[in-house]
Structures are given as structure tokens and as C-alpha cells.
Structure 1
């Protein structure tokens, strides 16, 4: 068959292949959903995460299969690949990051490190609620409303707020000129103040004792963006009170920094 004849049949081929792939994707998604709905060993968050992941995976795989089929229809790929090992190696090198993202995404999913709807802190900076779990990346809705997307290979640290409780983590980045001993005294007083004023937000165990009170974790990071050191304060609170508790702790830290003339990292030329 000539190239012109293949070109004339292209719309029919595209339509048939596309419909077939859509049907297969739909059946896979439906089967997975029915299967998971009858798996009582999984909680609702786990089921929702697996269903969401399956939808993303089938979408990508369906698209990849469609592209390969159409290319192969005009230019047989077996001849191309078998005749050029160098090209295959180059393609593998080019797509190594994508492959790594896929493998790490599968690992995160099946190791149950993240669920859809979890509150996470990524690389100690971006924090928010997981809105989408793809096979290559995560999308989280930050507290400021922005949607943050990060590929799995770029995640070096992931903190996950456990369902039913959340760990408030707030910090001050202070200048190198700041005396650590003075900063320690101030932030330890802030932790004590938070326990006294906002103890109602803390998560209690069955004996009515806080699982983890507000506490000062001292210096948790050096050379933050080459500007200063990070001094952190944490505490485990009830999930429903997480946002409000974070606001209160940030206020106390800001007020303490102001009243005690702590040198913030931005004020490189200021002195105590």
C-alpha cells in the first residue's frame, strides 16, 4: 500500500484505534474501582488514592500506546530500534529522569507514604494538601492557594501529616550574627507560651496527655539559602485545628522576634 493510500485511511485508523484505547482504559478503570470498593482491608483514603493513581496511569499509558501505534503504522519501529543501538541508548539517557519519576511514584504509592488528601511538607519548604497523585508528579494546594507541582525525582524530603493529627512546624531564619544562646532562650519561652495559651489545640492521648506539646527543636538547618540558620518549633495538634494553630504559633514567633530584637536573616547589616 502506497503512502498516499495510507494517508487517506488515516482518519479511520485514528478513530478506530482511539475508540479501542478509550474502551480498554474505561474497562480497566471500572474494574479497578469495583475491585477496590469490595476490598474492606483498605480505608477510604487508600481506595481513593489507588483509583486516582490508576486513572492517571491508564491515561498516560493509553496515550503512549496510541502514539507508538500511529508512528509504527508508517515507520516500523522494530527496524529502527534493531538497527540503531546507539539511538536506543541515547533515548534511554534522555528519558532517564522520566523513568526515575515513574519508579519513585510507584514506590511512594505502594509503600503507602502518601494518600490523596494528605497534608505534606516537601523539601522543608512547600506545604499543603495533596490534590493530585500522578505517576510522575504530585500536585499540592498550598496554604496561600497556589497549586504546586513537583516531580518525584525532585523530592528529597517529604513530611506527611498523619491522619487525625498534624505536626505544626514553624520556624525563624535568623542571621549568622545572631547569638544562638539568646535565640534559644527566646524560642524556648515561645514554646512554653504556646503550651499555656494554645494547649486546647494539642492532640491528647487516651489519658488526656498531649501526644507532643509545643517544643523548641533548636537549630534544624544551617546556611538556609546562604542567609542564616533555621530555628524550629513544633507540636502535634488535632487535624481540624491545624491551620489555626499554625497561625497562632507564627504570631508568637513573630512577636518574640520583634520584642527581643532577634536579627532576622534578611537584615544582614543589622546588629542586636
Structure 2
């Protein structure tokens, strides 16, 4: 008798797992024929799978409990007792769970983040969004470690994958360098960047570059004494932001080295005073 119940429970679990896989397959087929943005499609698929998981898990648990006679759906008193137990457990965890769920719905419907976005959450957790559920969100950081955060704990989101981003690069140059020579060298850097990233520069409605790479100018000469700070900027498609940022820094080093411009760095000058050393005869 017990063996039969165990076998039935195993069959229920296997069928539930197969049903979840079937739902995943059907969702992929449906979204394949719909013209959704890839990140939006992955986000919807992640959410629907999360909801399906909770529904199937709950149904599986009820069927197994009924199989072992712990829960009898035919008896109202048993249902009331079960509901009381569930209500007690829900009451204990309701505050945090409801907060996670409500915050999750706001994140999803306001499209604050989508699967595939590179984000910084709470100014601490940085990575690519791997999965969004109704209760939690998972990231993959630089080391490919998976970080899972309850949706209720997400207070701030910095999204690096929203259409366009401004590349801002600061460089400090020694005060002794000719400012006009530095500006000309940075103009050369901007020309290289505009040519390299011409396809990824944001276009205006007239087809012109919205904000190509250009020299913003001298942005600081006092904050620290190592040299004057020059800044270049440019607006590119968000998925090319980090590539453009790295390439801009590389081109600055290459052009400065070619033109003999020295980048400022901290130095220490020690002044030694020699005393009046008189020797008695």
C-alpha cells in the first residue's frame, strides 16, 4: 500500500516536471512566431515560466498530500484545516513575499529591466539580468556567478541597456603641456572614434549624428594638483557603450604617445635644506 503511494507520488512529480518542460517548449514556439524584441520576449518567457512553476508546484504538493491521506479535498473540514495551516504560514511570510511580488510587477510592467540588460542594482550588484520572476531577479556578474535578489529589496536600478548612452572619458595632462596641442590630439581621437563607431552613433530624425564624439574641453584644473583634466564625450548605442569606452581610452594613449603628450601622474618633490655645518678647530 505504502509502496503504491510512493510510486504514484513519483509519477505525479515526473508528470509535473514534464508539464513544466512542455509549457517552456510551447512558450518558445509561440514567441518564435511573434515579433517581439528579443529582451522583451525573454523577459515575458521568464515571468510566465515563474508563474507556471509556482502553480504546478502547488498542485503537485496538494496531489501528493492527498495521496498520503494528509489532505482530503472531498472533506470540507480537512480543507478548512489545510487552509488554516496555509494561512498561518502565509501570515508569517506574507509581508516580505507580498512586497517581493508587488515590486516584481512594478519592475516588469514599467520595464525597468529586461532579461539581457546589463544593470547595477542598489549601487552594489552589477551584472547581466539572467532571469526575472514574480518574487526574485537573478543576475550573472563578471565572474558568471549567479546573484539572486528578492524583488522587494531592489531600491535602485541603473540600466546600461536602454537604447543610448553617453561615453564620457576624462584624462589629466601635465600643466606644462601646450593646451592647444592637447586639444588637437583629442580632436584626432574623436575623429578616429567617429569613424570606427559610425554605425553605432545615435542618429537624429534627419539622419544626422545626434551627438558624435567631440572634445568637451577642460573640465578641471584645481581638484588635484597633478594636472589639467580634459574631457571627450559621445553618444552611442547602449550595447556598444563599454566597447566604445575602452577604445576611447586606448586611442587617447596611442595618440598622446605619438604626439609626445605626457599624461599627468602624482609626483613628490622633496626639498632638502643643508644646515650650516661649521667645524671647530
Unpaired segments of 5 or more residues in structure 1? 172-191, 216-232, 262-272
Name the TM-score, length of structure 1 as normaliser.
0.60
CA distance in 1, matches of 2:144, 2:265: 28
Shift in alpha-carbon separation, 1:145–1:18, aligned structure 2, 3 A: closer
Segment drifting more, 148-157 vs 47-56: 47-56
Shift of 1:213: 7.9
Structure 1 runs (4+) greater than 6 angstroms displaced: 211-215, 248-252
Shift of 1:137: 1.9
Aligned length, in residue pairs: 219
Q: Is the aligned partner of 1:93 residue 2:92?
A: yes
CA distance in 2, matches of 1:97, 1:243: 36
Larger radius of gyration: 2
Per-residue CA distance 1:77-98 (angstroms, 9 max, x = gap): 7646635858724532324323
What corresponds to 2:147 in structure 1?
148
Shift of 1:157: 1.0
What corresponds to 1:10 in structure 2?
5
CA distance in 2, matches of 1:86, 1:21: 24
Per-residue CA distance 1:11-43 (angstroms, 9 max, x = gap): 221133224323433443333333322323x22
What corresponds to 1:237 in structure 2?
236
CA distance in 2, matches of 1:16, 1:152: 34
CA distance in 1, matches of 2:143, 2:214: 26
What corresponds to 2:208 in structure 1?
207
Counterpart among 38, 45, 48 of residue 39 in structure 2 = 45
RMSD: 4.4
Name the TM-score, length of structure 2 as normaliser.
0.58
Shift in alpha-carbon separation, 1:118–1:10, aligned structure 2, 3 A: same
Equivalent runs, 1:1-272 vs 2, <5 Å: 5=1, 7-40=2-35, 42-73=36-67, 74-76=69-71, 79=77, 82-83=80-81, 85=84, 88-89=87-88, 91-143=90-142, 145-166=144-165, 197=189, 200=194, 203-205=201-203, 206-210=207-211, 236-247=235-246, 259=266
Unpaired segments of 5 or more residues in structure 2? 171-181, 217-231, 253-262, 269-281
Shift of 1:152: 0.8
